[in-house]
Amino acid sequence: MIRRNPRGDLPVVHETAFVDPTAILCGHIIVGENVFIGPYAVIRADEVDDEGHMDPIIIGAHSNIQDGVVIHSKAGGRVEVGEYTSIAHRSIVHGPCKVGDHVFIGFNSVLFNCVVGAGSVVRHNSVVEGCRVPEGFYIPSTCNIHSDEELARIERVTPDVTGFSESVAQANHELVRGYKRIRNEF
């Protein structure tokens, strides 16, 4: 469902993107080309700051927002998801937040008020809050990262980990084409 927010902003979805009919996109949202937004995802840009300002939620080209993901922002803060990025099932990205290009965010992970650098991997059930993850970091499953000191103990991404992330992105890219082809059948 595509709908306006109380301020009147309507999502802008590139014609090549696929948004599942059960997903909800509300407000000041920009969805790039060949993006896949899966079932029951909720992307909501509807809160303003004290001056009535709201930055957009931007989903970069060729990215995938999988089943049950929630993307929202407090007080009109910007949320940006880079290109070729995967946000896996039931994750929460709450802004202000920036997720770089070619990033993989694992199942049930939570990002809040943070920056995740390009090429990073945040594995399943992890929390990243109030810090800046440099490019190419690998955060193992079930980690809670809240400071630069905690980041210093995290190992760099290895080629086998980025290969997995790229295969997830490619699989979801194929889903965009497949679902757009059959969209009038359901």
Which positions are catalytic? 47
Tell me, what DSSP letter sits at residue 56? P
Give the integer Cα–Cα distance in Å for 126 and 23. Answer: 24
Query: What are the backbone angles phi and psi of residue 22, rounded to the nearest 5°?
Result: -90, -10
Nearest partner of 55 among 77, 83, 23, judged by Cα: 77
C-alpha to C-alpha distances, 51 to 48, 74, 76, 96, 173, nearest whole angstrom: 7, 14, 10, 16, 39
